[in-house]
Amino acid sequence: MPLMKIDLIKGRSQSEIKEILDISYQVMLKAFHAPQGDRYQIVTQHEAFEMQLLDTGLGFDRTDQVIVFSLITRPRTTEEKKNFYFLLVKELGDKLGIQSEDVMINLTVNTDEDWSFGFGRAQFLTGEL
């Protein structure tokens, strides 16, 4: 945990998608101090017309390489969040050439009682995790 949902426009290669997943996972581990194996990622690919992501008046344009990361996660400190945002954009840029304006990130906070990893049990509450 967190659960990371990644939305992007169709057309990327399988290897590039795998690298996006690997980069975002490694950044999440580092920024949120999560344990190895805490990997829950889902990629959804869209037609270009299905993703309308303007700049909210900040004065930049996005390209067809835009990626939206939506994380459902436990509460994180402001510093952890800022570190995650910075490191994710930096690593995607350094390793894949993705422009910083093409990375949008959203965190939704929930608590331990909001998770069941299987078997119909709340493993954080039962002590299994």
Q: Of residues 2, 67, 73, 115, which has the active-site annotation?
A: 2
User: In this predicted model, what pLDDT tens digit does every residue of 14-28 receive, in sequence order?
Assistant: 999 999 999 999 999
79-107: average pLDDT: 98
Q: Is 84 exposed, middle or buried (0-12, 13-18, 19+ CB in 10 A)?
A: buried
The contacts of residue 54 (CB under 8 Å, 6+ apart) are 62
Give pLDDT, residue 88.
Answer: 98
For position 41, which CATH number holds?
3.30.429.10
Does residue 2 carry a catalytic annotation? yes
The pTM (predicted TM-score) of the whole model is 0.93
User: In this predicted model, what pLDDT tens digit does every residue of 76-90 receive, in sequence order?
Assistant: 999 999 999 999 999
Is the confidence at residue 1, as pLDDT, over 90? no
42-48: average pLDDT: 98
Domain membership of residue 13 as a residue range: 2-125
38-55: average pLDDT: 96
Q: Which of 21, 20, 24 is nearest to 97 (CA)?
A: 20
Domains: count for the chain = 1
Share of the chain above pLDDT 90, in %: 97
